[in-house]
């Protein structure tokens, strides 16, 4: 039983979820501060005091605090809208990065087609101007580095010398 629990607790999905919850709690503090300290005061300037928490209806000695509920709903809507804007912005950034990567791959595909056609028609590749590579991949940490680098700036591994170095 303990072995099964250990396998479950140390699975990647559970750890990823735990990290997500912790980061989410920290991020929630940032968003709450943004809403409470920046957005709500700005709204108060425009519409006056928007804190409804003092509104209540008393029946038979019991106080129904509907104002606190309204304030909670308004805060929720502001937090949800702020998160929506943030996630939308991050999604657009990710789309741009993906498009840039796809464009690079497409350019490599065109270059490979030219090389293949040249080999097929028995032309020399040197006849066409093939751009020299500007980057290479570090064989140790797989980071993209400058083509003429002799040491990886990410993992500091010493690289083999090439003709250009």
Question: Residue 133: in which H helix or E strand, if any?
Answer: none
Residue 81 pLDDT = 85
Which domain range does residue 44 map to?
Answer: 2-123
> Do 165 and 115 share a structural domain?
no
> Do 145 and 84 share a structural domain?
no
**Which of 163, 157, 117 is CA-nearest to residue 140?**
157
> Do 149 and 76 share a structural domain?
no
| 138 φ/ψ sector (left φ>0, alpha ψ -120 to 50, else beta) | beta
Q: Are 143 and 152 in contact (CB under 8 A)?
A: yes
What does the alpha-carbon distance between residue 65 and residue 114 come to, in Å, rounded to a whole number? 74
> Do 105 and 29 share a structural domain?
yes
Which segments of the chain have a pLDDT < 70? Answer: 12, 49-51, 109-130, 162-165
Residue 114 is part of a domain; what is its CATH number? 1.10.1200
Measured at the alpha carbon of residue 66, what is the angle toward residues 64 and 71, in degrees to the nearest 5?
Answer: 145
Residue 162 pLDDT = 61
- Considering the entire predicted model, what is its pTM? 0.44
Residue 125 pLDDT = 47
> Do 46 and 79 share a structural domain?
yes
């Amino acid at each position: 039983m303990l072995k099964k629990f250990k396998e479950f607790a140390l699975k990647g999905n559970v750890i990823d979820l735990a990290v997500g919850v912790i980061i989410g709690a920290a991020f929630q503090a940032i968003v709450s501060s943004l809403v409470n300290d920046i957005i709500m005061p700005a709204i108060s300037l425009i519409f006056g005091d928007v804190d409804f928490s003092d509104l209540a209806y008393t029946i038979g000695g019991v106080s129904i605090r509907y104002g606190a509920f309204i304030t909670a709903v308004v805060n929720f809507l502001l937090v949800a809208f702020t998160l929506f804007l943030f996630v939308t912005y991050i999604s657009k950034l990710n789309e741009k990065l993906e498009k840039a990567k796809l464009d690079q791959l497409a350019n490599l595909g065109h270059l490979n087609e030219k090389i293949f056609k040249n080999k097929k028609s028995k032309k020399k590749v040197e006849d066409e101007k093939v751009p020299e590579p500007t980057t290479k991949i570090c064989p140790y940490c797989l980071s993209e580095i400058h083509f003429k680098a002799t040491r990886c700036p990410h993992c500091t591994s010493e690289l083999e010398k090439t003709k250009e170095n």
